[in-house]
Structure 1
Amino acid sequence: MTHPQPSPYRAAAILALLAQTLFCYRLTIPSKLMFDEVHYVPAARKLIGLVGPSNIEHPLLAKEIIAGGILLFGDNALGWRFFSTLAGTATVLGVFAVLWLMLGRVRPAVFGALFALFNFTLFVQARIAMLDGFMAAFTLLGIASLLWAMRADATRTAWSRWLLGSILLGLAVAAKWSAAPFVAYAGIAFVAVRLNDARARDRSVYAALNAGGHRHWPGMAAVPAILTLGAVSVTAYFLTFAPAFFYHLDPMTLGKLLPFQARMYAQQTQVLPSHPYQSPWWSWPFMVRPIWYLYEPADGAQRGVLLIGNLAILYGGLTAVAACLFGWWRDRSAVLLASAGLWIGSYAVWAVIPKSIGFFYYYYLPSIFLCIALAVALDHFKRGKRWDEAVLIVVLGLFVLFYPVLSAAPLSGPNAFHFWTWFPSWV
């Protein structure tokens, strides 16, 4: 006897409520700026006043959203961080949607979303006014929209969803440039899926790239789809610069818009002095050097916020990526390849990005994709067994253990950090 599938919409609503509640609880502590908020909140304040260019190494969108929070709730901790909580919730739902669209089942989608929710990186980034949380939210939702277009049953529906995904990926890049590769990955994935479908049905490459007779992205030809993806995402990106045209000092003009991108690139790639929390890209999967976003007396108590990964997700996720690659080699499962590919694509690009120094928080997006790989691997290799529940218990246990230094809870004193710094490089 088969049991009916639970409603994905009900599951998504429960996940959203859980995530938003968790992210908002004691959000205003610390009540002062911490870590890179000292860059982005002042930039948001200048945007509100249209003062002039500020923090020009990054595009405007994430700072515009932070500015919106300040306008809505005031220039305080709630205003700085509230929209980051929404971005965190959207990221959890994005993981759920991607898994549901990939697998067609609610259970692994729920487990993947819970892995993301209790992965320390997402929790911490959802409670701080930084750019990465917005970038990740738009990226996950953009990927989900393109997968949704892939599952469409009519041409018009496929195109509308493809346009939505293109806009969202453009907005991801407008939050932070590290999302830019996903626009290219989307075009590559479109062609790869079409060629794979054609090979399975013994159709020609010409037929694969044309519009007719396809079950994935019906009615969409490859060249118009890819051109639309590029044009729409680029347009969405540049539209977010609109406030800069109204600056009181050095306003943007159409003639300056492209040269300004070169200035941003120069700022991004300049040689920076060493930083106590810097770490090379190859070390991030092993969490050699996490980052203390806060460790000092604040709001009447010793408090800390440690950006660190959940060990069960980081190491379990790496195992899952390897398992997905093995499963793809053995079974030629496109889902397994895609699950591993999301992590590989988001992480490997850091080997070639010309940054003079790196930080563990650059691993934020790859750490989310580990949750997808873990959920897919558990579903594929252990179906019928409850290994997913066992893994979630470990993930949740570690979250509870580290919660005091993820949430800026009161600590026993200045030396309390020793309980959570298990290795010398974690101090």
Structure 2
Amino acid sequence: MRNWGVSRHNLVPPMPGSALWGWLGPIIVTVFGGIFRFTDLARPHAVVFDETYYAKDAYALLLYGAERAMLGDSDNPIADKRLIAGNLDIFRQCADYDQCASYVSHPPLGKWMIGAGEWLFGMNPFGWRFAAAVVGTLSILMLARVARRMTRSTLLGCFAGLLLALDGLHFVLSRTALLDIFLMFWVLAAFACLVVDRDRARERLVDWYETSPLSPQGPRLGARPWRIAAGVCLGAACAVKWSGVFFLLAFAVLSFAWDLGARRAIGLREPYRGALAHDLPPAAASFAALPAVAYVLSWTGWFVTDAGYGRNWDQATSSGPIFFVVDSARSWLKYHVQVLGYHSGLDDYHPYMSEPWTWPVLFRPVSFHYPTGLPPSACGADACSEAVIGVGTPALWYGSALALLGCLVWYFSGRDWRAGAVLLTYAVGWLPWFYYAITQNRTMYLFYMVPVVPFMALAATLMAGLLLGKAAAPPPRRAAGAAAVGAFALVVLINFWWLHPVLSAETVTQSEWWARMLMGSWVTSAPK
């Protein structure tokens, strides 16, 4: 018998309002965030923190197809000075490519993305930061759209995008040529694709339910382009940093759970068998084969040139095409084993390293840039400061911590899928680092949290939706909720505005800089 309680409205609630405002509102918020990210993008005119590796590796990929060893020691001071002076002769020149190949510990896709900006605008601070600013800005639009779809509210979608636009850590990494902002982008893109796929799969189930003979297991849902796109995005995330694999595994489980839940919701007698028979095989292709292909393709430059570390080009090209493929794969896998060993043993001390359990309270952010010896004339005071500190907006981070607790209660009391998705994503972006901290004492930094910052904003948005209440709620109830949500957004805005000078390398007096160091742990020692 059919479950006549099932309706299209229940399984796939209609999207709110006009499609025009569904795009226009998020775009306005995105432009707002983009202005902040692109304004004075070339400031500071310096090689900031680990840009000393990734900006130059990206340039080497453009020139040679693989990373190349640079002039100077492991911190590349000689190459840094040449680069800022406009001298692009920063790589070693040697007859033997094995001596010039650079050993790197991360896959190449993020560096290729940085290189796209360098190709467009040159090897300069604006060029190597351009791609980060682009993906940081686009992520605001993606979050606003996916929040709108999850909450069925254009207002809440714009609220989520605004929170992300005002986060300090997201802002700093959107203006710095590091890899983590690209990891965040592909993780968020994959999640957004899966949310759309969830709606599309449910729509197909409802169509089948209304027009076809009922069967115990339900139908095959056919091609699912949005889930395919999610698999490609997750492969891209892994091709930026290996920590993308945590999100890959979590999203595979999440997508299958959503499929199973949809078959149960429509009233099938055998939803588990239906999901295993009809949903699991294509899901395996989307979350295993496609990410693997995307990951391998990101290494194309290493495969087709002789410049890569451990490439063994002469040996690979010594005996026919089949041997070339086999020997290249062997060298590539050997390289990966070496990189795995490097990450497992990475325990070098850094003054701004921190433990993962301190990240949600922003105990130890990273100083990306703080030059010494600024002349008093730079700010009109006896002592001046110019800083870039990689720290989140405290009002947002502490507010989202409470929101995540609210999501936890909401999920276990009502099994709301949105709360569960946010909690799972936050957990897989944060908790795996506990293992490395406890078992390996690994060197880690606060900015490893940036992939979950959109989901922190999403948690706050879900709680904002509960505060606002349904449209049918009494006007006083709606007014009180709107006041609370508006007040929170205003506090986040003011907090971001207050920190902005030390997020963007503005030259301020040292007393103004000190006033923005909200904890003593934010600095190593007093500047001289």
TM over 0.5: yes
Distance in 2 (CA, whole Å) between partners of 1:160 and 1:262 is 33
After TM superposition, give the deviation of residue 222 of structure 1 in Å.
Answer: 1.7
* 2:390 paired residue among 297, 302, 307: 307
Give the match for residue 505 of structure 2: 408
2:426 aligned residue (343, 359, 373) = 343
Amino acid corresponding to residue 331 of structure 2 in structure 1: K
C-alpha contact (below 8 Å) 2:366/2:389 kept by paired residues = yes
Tell me how far apart the structure 1 counterparts of residues 333 and 136 of structure 2 sit (CA, whole Å).
31
DSSP-derived class of the 1:306 partner: strand
The answer to whether the 8 A contact 1:149-1:157 is kept is no
Opposite residue 290 of structure 2, the aligned amino acid is V
Which segment is superposed worse, 35-44 or 89-98?
Answer: 89-98
- Counterparts of 1:54 and 1:14, CA distance in 2: 43
For 2:465 and 2:390, locate their aligned partners in 1 and report how far apart those are by CA, in whole Å. 29
Change (3 A) 1:250 1:126: closer
For 1:7 and 1:145, the matched residues in 2 are separated by: 21
Between Structure 1 and Structure 2, how many residues are aligned? 415
Question: Aligned residue for 2:249?
Answer: 184
1:419 aligns with 2:515: yes
- Cα pair distance change 1:249/1:142, threshold 3 Å: closer
Work out the CA distance in 2 between the residues paired with 1:331 and 1:420. Answer: 41
2:77 paired residue number: none
2:293 aligned residue (235, 244, 247): 235
Q: Judging changes above 3 Å, is the alpha-carbon distance between structure 1 residues 9 and 158 closer, same or farther for their aligned structure 2 residues?
A: farther
Aligned match of 1:81: 129
Which range moved further: 345-354 or 170-179? Answer: 345-354
Whether the 8 Å CA contact 2:355–2:444 is kept in 1: the answer is: yes
Q: Which amino acid aligns with 2:291?
A: S
Question: Paired residue for 1:146?
Answer: 194
Cα displacement (A) at 1:209: 3.1
Separation of aligned partners in 2, 1:10 and 1:141: 19
Structure 1 residue 72 corresponds to structure 2 residue 120: yes
Task: Kindly indicate whether the alpha-carbon contact (under 8 Å) linking 1:66 and 1:83 is maintained by their aligned counterparts in 2.
Answer: yes
132-141 vs 190-199, greater mean Cα deviation? 190-199
How far apart are the structure 2 equivalents of 1:189 and 1:355?
A: 30
CA shift digits 1:172-228 (9 cap, x unpaired): 1111112211111121112222333344425321023343xxxxxxxxx22221233
Check the 8 A contact 1:317/1:374 in 2, yes or no: yes
| Equivalence for 1:390 | 487
Alignment RMSD (CA, Å): 2.2
TM-superposed deviation, 1:23 = 0.5
Matches within 5 A, 1:130-209: 130-152=178-200, 153-154=203-204, 159-200=224-265, 201=267, 203-204=269-270, 205-209=272-276
1:34 maps to which of 48, 64, 69: 48
**Equivalent pair of 2:310/2:332 in contact (CA under 8 Å):** no
* Secondary structure, aligned partner of 2:507: coil
More displaced 10-residue stretch of structure 1: 403-412 or 360-369: 360-369
Letter in 1 for 2:231: S
- For residues 249 and 337 of structure 1, do their structure 2 counterparts lie closer, same or farther at Cα, with a shift above 3 Å needed? closer
CA contact (8 A) 1:269 1:355 kept: no
- Provide the residue aligned with 1:225 in structure 2: 283
The alignment partner of 1:375 has SS state of helix
Name the counterpart of 2:84. none
For the pair shown, the structure with the greater C-alpha radius of gyration is 2
| Cα distance change of structure 1 residues 251 and 109 upon mapping to structure 2, 3 Å threshold | same
TM-score of the pair, normalised by structure 2: 0.74
Structure 1 stretches of 4+ with a deviation exceeding 6 A read none
Secondary structure, counterpart of 1:258 in structure 2: helix
> Cα deviation per residue 1:286-311 (whole Å; 9 max; x = unaligned)?
11111111112599844101111111
Corresponding residue SS for 1:180 = helix
Equivalent residue letter for 1:207: G
What are the superposed Cα offsets for residues 2-38 of structure 1, whole Å, 9 maximum, x if unpaired?
Answer: x945622112322332222211101111111011111
Alignment correspondent of 2:404: 321
Does the residue aligned with 1:151 lie in a helix, a strand or coil? helix
Report the equivalent of 1:277: 352
Give CA deviations for 1:307-344 in whole Å, capped at 9, x if unaligned.
11111111110100110111122222112222222212
Q: Secondary structure at the match of 1:293?
A: strand
How far is the alpha carbon of 1:355 from its aligned partner?
6.2
User: What residue identity is the alignment partner of 2:446?
Assistant: F
Cα 1:156–1:334 change in 2 (3 A) is closer
Alignment of 1:248 onto 2:248:
no
Offset, 1:265: 1.2
Please give the per-residue CA displacement for 1:127-181, whole angstroms capped at 9, x wherever unaligned: 0000001111111011111211221245888611111111111111111112211
Does structure 1 residue 333 correspond to structure 2 residue 416? yes
Letter in 2 for 1:308: V
CA contact (8 A) 2:198 2:259 kept: no
Question: Measured at CA, do residues 286 and 250 of structure 1 come closer, stay the same or move farther in structure 2, by a change above 3 Å?
Answer: closer
Answer yes or no: is the 8 Å Cα contact 2:302–2:308 preserved in 1: no
With 350-359 and 19-28 compared, the bigger mean Cα shift is at: 350-359
Q: Is the contact made by 1:19 and 1:92 (CA closer than 8 Å) also made in structure 2?
A: yes
- Taking only the aligned residue pairs, the percentage that are identical comes to 25
